[in-house]
Amino acid sequence: MTSLTLAEIAAQLGGALNGDSTIRVSGANIIRDAGPGDLTFALGPKHLEQLAASQAAAAIVPRGLYTGSLPVIEVDEPEAAFIQIVRQFRPVDQVPSREISPAAEVHPTASIADGVTIAAGVMIAADVRIGAGSQLHSGVQVMTGVTIGANCLIFPLVTLYQHTVIGDRVVLHAGATLGAYGFGYKAGQQGLELCQQLGNVVIEDDVEIGSCSTIDRGTYGATRIGAGTKIDNQVQVGHNCLIGKHNLLCAQVGIAGSTSTGDFVVMAGQVGIKDHVHIGEHVQIGAQAGIMEDLAANASYVGSPAMPERQQMKIFAVMRQLPEMRKQMRVLQRELDELRDGLAGDDQAAQDAA
């Protein structure tokens, strides 16, 4: 097991050590989980109370921040320094040798560039093209006519349907499915009939798609994910959608067919979007929002149905007051009833007197 003294760590980081230089650490962890023998880190004053109660052997801290008894190494950028040490205790998996496993099935018409890694259990169909330096892990299924760019990283059990196009430096996490049929049906004499599914999926450069996310093919054209967009786990993008550049789609977002977004759109978890709407550029959408119509650019929206954030916050504020308002209404109703009864009594007395 790797272990380092605080003196060795401080020397690596170019930091100032305050404490026993001979203390050895054998792991690195965040403050919440750090135990004896671990090195941890703090970013600022908000972490000082946690640091004082931590069981960690030592910590990396900003210069001049910490005055307690725990041994510390002071640096200019604690998080970057901590990452450097974590990599020594938990090294990133080495890139496998650039080779095609004999246990992979590669069609003879496939075009594989130099430096491609294809692991055991990968299946590559006819007329596939794979760019230099890409890696395909076990169980990846690549169907007919797919194009994969250079330096892509495709994790186990990803499925790429026919004629999917993947740009350069794309990361596809385990279980992602690209190019499945869109959810488009029409009523026929024998029941529901699947509409034509003749399009494909196009993923532009530098996109990352999370585990078990699904992107359906277009009906006739492409479902497109713009360059630099990052998609979280378990996200659904429907057929014919056009997702802009540098979007962030968080977990469990669901986007119905033929929806489009501008660039730099952010959707928080469980956002749902109906079909055939457009989301303007630089829009931010809060968690669990329901989008039923086009959203103007450069604004934030929350709620279901979604409204501009300021308007929705006013509604939420009123809703919190409803129980008290209900009590007030009951009091007012009783007073109104008493007033009405009093007036009725006065009218009756006046009639009797007449």
Instruction: Work out the number of other CB atoms within 10 angstroms of the CB of residue 310.
Output: 10
What amino acid occupies position 211? S
Six token digits for residue 239: 């057929």
Confirm if 267 and 287 have CB atoms less than 8 A apart.
no
Q: Would residue 278 show up in a list of annotated catalytic residues for this protein?
A: no
Tally DSSP H helices, then E strands, for the chain.
5, 39
According to DSSP, the residues that pair with 201 across neighbouring strands are 223
CA–CA separation, 320 vs 305, rounded Å? Answer: 18
Residue 116, CA distances (Å) to 20, 153, 177, 209 in order: 48, 10, 21, 20
Q: Which residue among 137, 163, 173, 239 is the active-site one?
A: 239
Phi-psi region of 288 (alpha: psi -120 to 50; beta: other; left: phi over 0): left
**Residues annotated as catalytic (active site), given as ranges:** 239
